[in-house]
Each structure stands twice: as structure tokens, then as C-alpha cells.
């Protein structure tokens, strides 16, 4: 189990591919089998998002899975979904449409859906996969922060003696670099000024390949399995917080 499980983090998984400029109608038509197999009452509840370009499409299924595709990217995200139901003679109640599931259990489900969506994309046989990404998003109260992430925030805030009112920290860091592969992670931590609002943690782990992978099922499964393993390992490392321990840092730089 990961800390992401205990804090109800939600996953997003995506690929970056060779660009192919298919108009939005083509994209939706390609992804139609996913929409088409939804039960009728659920299909009517699908939300299609307004697209900013003619080459991207996104929709959210009733059970909380969001599919998004552009000319160069495809991603599947899980979000909690809810609706308000009016009650006779009482206040409305909130009904969860999505099922609360641990992050580590959701990741393989989201990945499987991503593979299906990727293989449906227009001209997929002529394209290559150049990047795989795993994102963890967590709404969290200040007092629930994992110790390592708290240490990270304190580390960044030291010049100001940790007197934060609000912050929006975003760090895109290179984690590893080889001849064929580069790994990075975007760390985003936001805290609004209003005390009654939640913080948001987002860790976007990415592995980029110098030479693209042919997008067949077995390759995509392998890429995602390895990415899941390594991203989760990194997220645990962040939450444990050795990277932000000043004593350990002093040992590293020899000060």
C-alpha cells in the first residue's frame, strides 16, 4: 500500500506519441467503442468537454474515468464524481457515482483503459510512443500531510522562517538521465490562502524515450508496468522525505 491509497489520491496515466493531426470528429469516432459500450443510462450522463483546438477531444464517463486525446497525447484520469439528489422534506444528499478505490488498485485499471484508448487512436500503427507519465493528485488538509512532503515544504520555506500564507510550488526536476531514457517529475504543491480550503499535491512522473516504442499491446503493457513500479517507488521516497533532510543533504554535499 502507498500513502496515495490512504489519502484517496487519484491517478492519471498518459502517453506522448508521434503527432497526428486528426480532427476532433475523427478522434471521437475512433474512441466511440468506449462510449458505445456504456449502459444507456450512463451513456446519457457522459460529459463532453469543450475543446480548445480542433485536434483534441475529452469526455468523462459516469463512473469517473476521463479520456483525453490531442494530436500528440492520450491520457486517462480517474476523478471522483458525485451528484446532489433532492430529498422530500429535507436537505439534498450527495451521492457518489465513482467507487472509492485505493490509488494502487486504480492505477492498473486506468492503465488498461489507456492501452485500449491508445490502440483505438487514428493511424496508431504508424505512430510511436515517446513518453509515459503517471500522475498522482491529492486534495489534503494541512495536518494530514505525509512527513516527507511536510519536510519538503518546510525546506523551501526556510528563508522566510516557514511563515507561509499561501503558496504554489512547482518544480520540474530531472531524476535520472541515460542514453535512451530520461526520467523527470513535476512536483506541484498548492495551498490557498483561505484556511478552510484544502491543499493540492500533484506529482507528475514521466519517462521519456529517445527512440519511440511501437504501440502494440505488449509494449504498452510493459511500459506501463515499469512506469507504475518506478513512479510509486518515487512517490514513496518523496513521502518519506530523505531528500529534504538537511542532515542527509549536508552529508551529500560534504558541508
Partner 1 sequence: MRNSSARQLEFDYVVGDTQVSSAPGGDARPMSTSAQTVSQPDSFPDFTRYDATFAAAAKVAGKINAASISDVELRELLRERKRLLTKKLGGKITPRESNRLQYVRWTLDRIEDARDGYILDALESSVSRYEQLAQDLTNLYSRLGAELPSRKAR
Considering only the C-alpha atoms of the chain, give the largest distance between any 2 of them, rounded to a whole number of Å: 69
Q: Does 144 bind partner 1 (CB under 8 A)?
A: yes
Q: Assess contact for 200 and 137: CB atoms under 8 A.
A: yes
Residue whose C-alpha is closest to residue 206's, from 136, 132, 114, 137 = 132
Question: DSSP assignment, residue 63?
Answer: T
Residue 86 binds partner 1, judged by CB under 8 A: yes
Cα angle 24, 44, 121; round to 5 = 30
Q: Cβ 130 to partner 1, closest distance in Å? A: 24
- Closest distance between partner 1 and the C-beta of residue 179, in Å? 30
Candidates 94, 125, 253, 255; binder of partner 1 (CB under 8 A) is 94
- Give the nearest distance from C-beta 2 to partner 1 in angstroms: 10
Reported as half-sphere exposure (CB side, CA atoms, 13 A), residue 146 has a value of 25
**Using the rule CB under 8 A, which residue among 23, 139, 157, 212 binds partner 1?**
139
Q: Which residue has the cell 518519506?
A: 240
Candidates 62, 207, 53, 187; CA nearest to 129 is 207
Residue selected from 36, 39, 40, 85 as contacting partner 1 according to rule CB under 8 A: 85
The yes or no reply on residue 200 touching partner 1 (CB under 8 A) is yes
Q: How many residues bind partner 1, per CB under 8 A? A: 58
66 binds partner 1 (CB under 8 A): yes
Instruction: Find the part of the chain contacting partner 1 (CB under 8 A) among 19-27, 86-94, 125-133, 157-165.
Output: 86-94
Which residue in 5, 71, 112, 230 binds partner 1 (CB under 8 A)?
5
Interatomic CA distance for residues 4 and 175, integer angstroms:
20
Taking the CA atoms of 15, 19, 24 and 30 in sequence, report the sign of the dihedral they define: negative
- Binding residues (CB under 8 A) for partner 1: these are 1, 3, 5-8, 10, 45, 47, 49-50, 58, 60, 62, 64, 66, 77, 79-86, 91-94, 96-97, 100-103, 137, 139-141, 144, 146-148, 151, 190, 192, 196-200, 239-242, 245, 247-248
Amino acid at each position: 500500500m502507498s500513502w496515495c491509497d490512504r489519502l484517496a489520491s487519484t491517478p492519471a496515466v498518459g502517453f506522448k506519441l508521434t503527432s497526428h493531426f486528426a480532427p476532433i470528429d475523427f478522434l471521437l469516432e475512433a474512441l466511440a467503442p468506449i462510449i458505445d459500450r456504456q449502459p444507456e443510462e450512463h451513456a446519457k450522463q457522459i460529459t463532453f468537454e469543450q475543446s480548445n483546438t480542433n485536434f483534441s477531444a475529452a469526455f468523462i464517463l459516469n463512473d469517473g474515468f476521463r479520456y483525453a486525446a490531442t494530436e500528440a497525447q492520450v491520457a486517462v484520469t480517474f476523478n471522483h464524481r458525485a451528484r446532489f439528489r433532492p430529498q422530500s422534506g429535507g436537505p439534498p444528499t450527495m451521492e457518489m457515482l465513482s467507487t472509492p478505490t485505493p490509488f494502487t488498485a486504480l492505477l492498473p485499471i486506468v492503465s488498461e483503459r489507456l492501452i485500449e484508448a491508445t490502440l483505438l487512436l487514428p493511424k496508431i500503427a504508424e505512430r510511436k510512443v515517446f513518453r509515459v507519465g503517471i500522475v498522482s493528485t491529492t486534495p489534503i488538509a494541512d495536518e494530514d500531510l505525509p512527513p516527507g512532503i511536510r519536510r519538503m515544504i518546510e525546506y523551501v520555506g526556510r528563508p522566510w522562517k516557514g511563515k507561509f500564507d499561501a503558496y504554489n510550488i512547482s518544480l520540474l526536476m530531472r531524476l535520472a538521465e541515460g542514453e535512451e531514457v530520461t526520467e523527470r517529475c513535476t512536483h506541484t504543491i498548492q495551498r490557498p490562502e483561505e484556511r478552510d480550503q484544502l491543499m493540492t499535491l500533484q506529482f507528475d512522473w514521466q519517462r521519456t524515450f529517445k527512440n519511440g516504442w511501437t504501440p502494440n499491446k505488449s509494449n504498452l503493457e510493459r511500459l506501463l508496468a515499469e512506469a507504475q513500479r518506478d513512479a510509486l517507488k518515487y512517490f514513496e521516497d518523496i513521502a518519506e522525505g530523505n531528500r529534504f533532510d538537511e542532515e542527509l543533504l549536508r552529508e551529500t554535499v560534504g558541508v
